[in-house]
Amino acid sequence: MENEYGAYDEDTAHIAHLAQLLRRLGVDVPLFTCDQPADLERGALPGTLATANFGSDARRGLAALRAHQLTGPLMCSEFWNGWFDRWGGRHVVREAADAARELDDLLATGASVNLYMFHGGTSFGFTNGANDKHTYRPTVTSYDYDAPLDESGDPTEKYEAFREVIAKYAPVPTDPTPGRGTKLAAPGIALTECAPLFDNLPFLGTPVASERPLTMEQLGQDFGFVLYETVLPTAGPALLEIEHVRDRAQVFVDGQPVGVLERENHEHAIALTAPHKGSVLRLLVENQGRVNYGPGIHDRKGLLGKVRLNGIEPTGWTSRPLPLTSLTGLAFTSGAEPAIGPSFHRGTFEVDTPADTFVHLPGWTKGNVWVNGFHLGRFWSRGPQRSLYLPDPVLRPGPNEITVLELHAAHLAATIDLRGLPDLGPTEE
């Protein structure tokens, strides 16, 4: 009925309302709650099956569940056999033998189990989440999770280890494990066309005028970017202070980049210089992923709170939503010098037979990738992830189009590679 509600609150009436709602709407299967062992009392509903989430020390986790629930089946509803990655960290892996040993201990008790994850996945587009335990940490695009089946569905060493353990407690198929699927490789794809973001704003979103910056939610927007713009009242040096940047703001004066403010680094102020009275201040703010666990889940985006320039709140802003749900209408040109600031780069490549592949972006800094209009997700040179999964169904025989939004560097020789293997970064044991 709820996922780890005990990590947020202990309002039993909320869970009871959900149970009544589900029954009223015709759901007639057993209902249950799931929480980490320490949160069972806060998140459970009396009279309804409770389950526990954990990745190790199974006997202790199940003992906590039994102490809370004296009768009924025992179940680990999320057995964490790997973990997800965050930008700026390392690629987290869990040894197959260690995970299999914990799974064996769990099944030996007679408890039931749900593997989290069995199949690694991808947070395509802007759909990655984030954590905020006093410091905001956005999750990378890949949700490979070091799972038994990897991001592209290929079996791993962990798959074989789990199969051997499960065979001790239940029948398993006798068929051999499938091998890796066919992968496509195409190095050195040139992105010869360029469309500067600031030159193409009319195709991407409509500005909304207001006295102060509007949040993404006030603009009716879920994901993507917001471009804020105002006119600087005087020339010369100035200090820009922003109460809350959600989540990353690139700052420009008259189209020239002057710096970045990041929520993750608790940054709130930046010094800038206006060349003349009437210079245009722009802030391109990226929603880097909504907090999806814990009390910080009420996560509003954009510029929040007060924005001050030399201690005074400027008025007369425009807030332009840039959801980037469609790139139709962008004015690309070939052969021109790349513009300063964010730009879209586009190229084509030929495919004989579509197959899964991975987009590698050596030399690129930060941005997003679309193939045939499908938004693969974000890339960032800070890692750990250094490739993006491109699934077979996105491709088609013949010409295919790839578009890269680069938020920083101006590329003179813009190329990308399609490779048969991913690069999820250096590992963390």
Q: How far is CA 360 from CA 186, 200, 242, 419, in A?
A: 10, 26, 35, 7
Residue 78 is among the residues annotated as catalytic for this protein: yes
Can you tell me the distance from the alpha carbon of 240 to that of 226, in angstroms, rounded to the nearest whole number? 18
Tell me the Ramachandran region of residue 109: left when phi exceeds 0, alpha when psi lies from -120 to 50, beta otherwise.
Answer: alpha
Residue 337 is among the residues annotated as catalytic for this protein: no
The answer to whether the beta carbons of residues 386 and 353 sit under 8 Å apart is no
Can you tell me the distance from the alpha carbon of 282 to that of 284, in angstroms, rounded to the nearest whole number? 6
Q: Give buried/exposed letters for 281-306 (b at 16+ CB in 10 A, else e).
A: bbbbbbbbbbbeeeebeebebbbeee
Among 2, 4, 102, 264, the one annotated catalytic: 4
Q: Which amino acid is at 323?
A: P
β-sheet bridge partners, residue 230: 281
Among 78, 193, 229, 286, the one annotated catalytic: 78
**Residue 206 CB neighbour total at 10 angstroms:** 10
Active site residues: 4, 78
